[in-house]
Structure 1
Amino acid sequence: MTDLTGKTALVTGGSRGIGRAIARRLAKEGALVAFTYASDEESAKETVASIESDGGRAFAFRAALGVPGDADGLWAEFDAAIGKHSDTPGVDILVNNAGVVGGGQIHEVTEADYDKVFAVNAKAPFFVIQKGLERLRDGGRIINISSGVTKVAFPAMTSYAASKGAIEVLTLTLAVTLGPRGITVNAVSPGTIETDIHPWMADPDAKAHAAAFSVFNRVGQPTDVADVVAFLASDDARWVTGQNIDASGGSGLGI
């Protein structure tokens, strides 16, 4: 167990899937969790309700990412809401989880598709961090969600993999930049995770094929990733920075 009592966390894209699991886990450890959602207000309300039913504290707000002014808009919404839930402004833990999947080999990717993937997956986290630095307390944590597709060649997701590669380099760079403030910056790279963005997993054969990539012969669950994030958010990880933690269940090790 990692004690995050008295900490405030902000998770982007926290209403569903991996983001929801992260929000729930950080709240379970005592943090006040703010999280964003893109459009599904009902799922956001369900996530808040599930956290509160477990004795935690959370609030959600809508923030569109991948559009001009997205980082400024996100922090304006956070600033407007935090006073209703805490006497202390600012944030201790920032988890850049929100992202979009972009498929296609290089000859199949349009410029518009590429721009959307990079706007959400690479540009938005960059400026969310930049605009948030004055709100992020010394000794804080930044955790960027990357992907296992940066570890092996995956031509079917060329632009997505490239956008996540950008996040990993940003993580490494910021670890040096923010080290003097005691802020750690790390990335977590999941493999295939069973969430509603993968409807194809309803096919037993497709799910078994995905499971075979892991040495454990199963697909990952959102909690598998959330547990790693909780560790990086804790004081136990105070001496870990600039790292990309593989949370893929050993996917691709036998390739």
Structure 2
Amino acid sequence: MEEKKNALITGGSKGIGRAISIELAMSGYHVMVNYHSDDDAANTTKEMIEEKGGSATLLKFNVANHDEVQQHLLPIFEEQKQGIEVLVNNAGIIRDNSIVWMSKDNWDDVIRTNLDAFFYVSKIVSKRMVKQKYGRIISIASTSGQAGMRGQVNYSASKGGIIAATKSLAIELASRKITANVVAPGFIDTEMVQHVDQEKVLPHIPMKRIGTPEEVAAVVGFLASAKSSYITGQVIAVNGGMYM
């Protein structure tokens, strides 16, 4: 029996991360579901995957903490020498406010969780991918990283940084058959947009609706597959036409 390939999803226990975890599990990957603190959500995601016939491992650590990332991932990919075929950098938070009122903590927390974590995790995983001469790195950005949004100077900076960093990463890794791409969702039906007044948002979305986590996950599933082998350094928007 052929051994399952591995996929690591940061922030994979709920919302878009949960949908991605399920999508990749149903595509035949053993999914490593990273999460920070919500044990109930993580266990629910694992149960959902197993009920569908997939397999999952839960990895509880803070991707914004360099030491924790090293402590949890190095033993897997270097000491145990497990392969890692797909990395999805999905972990992210928002701390919205006008820059006039934005605290240093609001800025630091978002940059650390959204952008620093991209570097910490991608560095370890890409090193393993280079050795095996294959890999898919998919990072979740946002329309905010492409167009900018009022009250999201920190979030836009972090997601714009991911887009720029991924383009450089794609160039560095292309010769090793490793692709690096970005999926940029717009307004998606998750906890993160529950505070949004949809009556104000929908007029700006040509498709006149909020997207679903599964629609984002479907694009990630394609980018994780062999069918995407000639696509790298790209930003694929899933936003209903809100930004083109």
Q: TM-score, normalised to structure 1's length?
A: 0.88
Quote the Cα distance in structure 1 between the aligned partners of 2:60 and 2:27.
24
1:14–1:20: 8 Å Cα contact kept in structure 2? yes
Q: CA RMSD in A?
A: 2.0
Which of 153, 174, 180 is the matching residue for 1:185?
180
Match of 1:8 in 2: 6
Q: What are the superposed Cα offsets for residues 59-97 of structure 1, whole Å, 9 maximum, x if unpaired?
A: 1110112224232133047459x97xxxx7120000000
The answer to whether structure 1 residue 208 and structure 2 residue 199 are counterparts is yes
The answer to whether structure 1 residue 123 and structure 2 residue 123 are counterparts is no
Q: What are the superposed Cα offsets for residues 204-228 of structure 1, whole Å, 9 maximum, x if unpaired?
A: xx22333333211000110010000
Deviates more, 1:70-79 or 1:33-42: 70-79
Match of 2:107 in 1: 114
Quote the Cα distance in structure 2 between the aligned partners of 1:21 and 1:217.
22
Quote the Cα distance in structure 2 between the aligned partners of 1:153 and 1:45.
35
Q: TM-score, normalised to structure 2's length?
A: 0.92
> How far off its partner does 1:179 sit?
0.6
> How far off its partner does 1:148 sit?
0.5
1:208–1:218: 8 Å Cα contact kept in structure 2? no
Matched position secondary structure for 1:72: helix
> How far off its partner does 1:150 sit?
2.1
1:1-255 residue pairs with structure 2 within 5 A? Answer: 6-76=4-74, 78=76, 89-136=82-129, 137-200=132-195, 206-252=197-243
Q: What are the superposed Cα offsets for residues 125-155 of structure 1, whole Å, 9 maximum, x if unpaired?
A: 1121112223223221000100001222312
1:63–1:73: 8 Å Cα contact kept in structure 2? no
1:213–1:252: 8 Å Cα contact kept in structure 2? no
Letter in 2 for 1:19: G
Q: What are the superposed Cα offsets for residues 217-240 of structure 1, whole Å, 9 maximum, x if unpaired?
A: 000110010000001000110000
1:193–1:222: 8 Å Cα contact kept in structure 2? yes
1:102–1:117: 8 Å Cα contact kept in structure 2? yes
Query: Which sections of structure 1, spanning at least 5 residues, go unmatched?
Result: none
2:11–2:17: 8 Å Cα contact kept in structure 1? yes
> How far off its partner does 1:196 sit?
2.0
> How far off its partner does 1:193 sit?
0.8
1:185–1:242: 8 Å Cα contact kept in structure 2? yes
Displacement over 6 Å in runs of 4+: none
Query: Which sections of structure 2, spanning at least 5 residues, go unmatched?
Result: none
Quote the Cα distance in structure 1 between the aligned partners of 2:148 and 2:163.
16
